[in-house]
């Protein structure tokens, strides 16, 4: 069969909503796009632990601390589900990690913003996880089987993340005037970066058309962003907080909220590495990787020793 035939069969499977599985034939570009997207997604989960980890020792109560620990542990888990999914495409885990540590691979820019007050932990759960959920719910229907399955697990767990964040926001927004001010300050700082999480607008997005045709993505960046604004604005109203966008208003004719223009200069600047915390985040990852090297090596050495003892128990004892 010619590769053209393979491609026709591949596309017709996608059109029929048949999932693509690891050993199925797929175009090289499909494989590459998925490895890039899934590994970036995995890196985002891993780096995403850092801004929240900052508050584990400072959580205002034991209850909040337990919840935050569980949430950060979930983020590690999500990263691992995703790395595993990328490996089913033939990617090597170490290569992927190296790409993150050397700055070659991107991760979600949102994690390059600092967490300055406790309300930020609420805003991250509510807005950042809320925006991630919009994207991830769509991805439960992505065309690549292992990615879709990882997303189903992740979405089940993310919904706890969003609710715990909103609960923090309720506590702060309905609390003392100082607490409410912190909640408002946090919304002011996280609103726009959250909208940026959906990526460049459709007219600027380089990967969108092909990704839609292959059903890697099922909705465009702008569609998802609109959906997020529509569900989130009423949630802000319930909190009695003001969304920091003077252009925001309900458009009866469109049946959607209209909202202001994103600061794309800021968006690209953070993507290119000049956000408030880009260097700090990467340094933290590199340090964790290097400090953990001896543990990884020791575990291998121990596994080898055990294996040798199993194969030749007496020889191993004599050698020792």
Partner 1 sequence: MKNTWPLWEVFIRSKSGLSHKHVGSLHASDAEMAVENARDLYTRRNEGVSIWVVESKHITASDPDDSDPLFEPAKDKIYRHPTFYSVPDEVTHM
Per CB under 8 A, residues contacting partner 1 are 21, 23-25, 70, 73-74, 77, 80-81, 84-85, 87-88, 93-94, 149-150, 153, 157, 296-297, 299-300, 302-303, 306-307
Residue 86 or 131 having the CB closest to partner 1 = 86
Half-sphere exposure of 102 (CA within 13 A, CB side): 7
* Beta carbon of residue 10, minimum distance to partner 1 (angstroms, whole number): 11
* Beta carbon of residue 88, minimum distance to partner 1 (angstroms, whole number): 8
* Beta carbon of residue 285, minimum distance to partner 1 (angstroms, whole number): 17
Residue 85 or 119 having the CB closest to partner 1 = 85
* Beta carbon of residue 76, minimum distance to partner 1 (angstroms, whole number): 9
Residue 70 or 312 having the CB closest to partner 1 = 70
Residue 79 or 199 having the CB closest to partner 1 = 79
* Beta carbon of residue 73, minimum distance to partner 1 (angstroms, whole number): 7
Residue 71 or 285 having the CB closest to partner 1 = 71
Residue 21 or 204 having the CB closest to partner 1 = 21
* Beta carbon of residue 166, minimum distance to partner 1 (angstroms, whole number): 20
CA distance 5 to 7: 5
* Beta carbon of residue 235, minimum distance to partner 1 (angstroms, whole number): 25
Which long-range contacts does 28-37 make (Cβ < 8 Å, 24+ apart)?
A: 29/210, 30/214, 30/216, 31/89, 31/90, 33/207, 33/210, 33/211, 33/214, 33/216, 34/86, 34/89, 34/144, 34/147, 34/216, 35/86, 35/89, 35/90, 35/91, 36/105, 37/211, 37/216
Of 55, 162, 160, nearest to 115 by C-alpha is 55
CA distance 10 to 30: 10
Q: How far is CA 5 from the centre of its chain?
A: 36
Residue 15 or 307 having the CB closest to partner 1 = 307
Residue 93 or 207 having the CB closest to partner 1 = 93
Which long-range contacts does 275-278 make (Cβ < 8 Å, 24+ apart)?
A: 275/109, 275/112, 275/113, 276/112, 276/113, 276/114, 277/51, 277/111, 277/112, 277/113, 277/114, 278/112
* Beta carbon of residue 35, minimum distance to partner 1 (angstroms, whole number): 16
């Amino acid at each position: 069969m010619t590769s053209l035939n393979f491609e026709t069969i591949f596309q017709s499977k996608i059109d029929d909503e048949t999932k693509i599985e690891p050993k199925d034939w797929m175009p090289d570009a499909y494989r590459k796009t998925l490895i890039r997207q899934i590994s970036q997604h995995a890196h985002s989960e891993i780096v995403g632990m850092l801004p929240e980890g900052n508050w584990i020792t400072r959580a205002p109560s034991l209850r909040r601390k337990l919840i935050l620990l569980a949430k950060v542990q979930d983020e590690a888990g999500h990263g691992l589900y995703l790395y595993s999914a990328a490996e089913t495409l033939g990617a090597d885990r170490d290569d992927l990690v190296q790409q993150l540590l050397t700055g070659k691979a991107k991760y979600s820019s949102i994690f390059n913003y600092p967490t300055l007050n406790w309300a930020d932990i609420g805003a991250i759960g509510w807005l950042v996880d809320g925006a991630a959920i919009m994207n991830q719910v769509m991805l439960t229907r992505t065309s690549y089987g292992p990615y879709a399955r990882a997303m189903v697990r992740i979405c089940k767990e993310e919904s706890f993340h969003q609710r715990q964040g909103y609960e923090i926001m309720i506590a702060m927004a309905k609390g003392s005037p100082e607490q409410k001010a912190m909640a408002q300050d946090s919304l002011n700082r996280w609103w726009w970066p959250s909208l940026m999480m959906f990526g460049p607008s459709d007219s600027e997005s380089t990967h969108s058309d092909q990704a839609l045709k292959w059903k890697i993505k099922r909705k465009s960046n702008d569609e998802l962003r609109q959906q997020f604004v529509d569900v989130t604005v009423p949630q802000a109203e319930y909190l009695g907080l003001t969304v920091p966008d003077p252009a925001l208003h309900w458009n009866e004719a469109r049946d959607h909220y209209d909202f202001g223009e994103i600061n794309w200069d800021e968006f690209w600047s953070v993507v290119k590495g000049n956000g408030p915390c880009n260097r700090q985040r990467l340094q933290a990852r590199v340090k964790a990787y290097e400090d953990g090297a001896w543990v990884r090596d020791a575990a291998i050495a121990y596994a080898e020793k055990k294996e040798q003892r199993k194969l030749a128990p007496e020889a191993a004892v004599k050698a020792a």
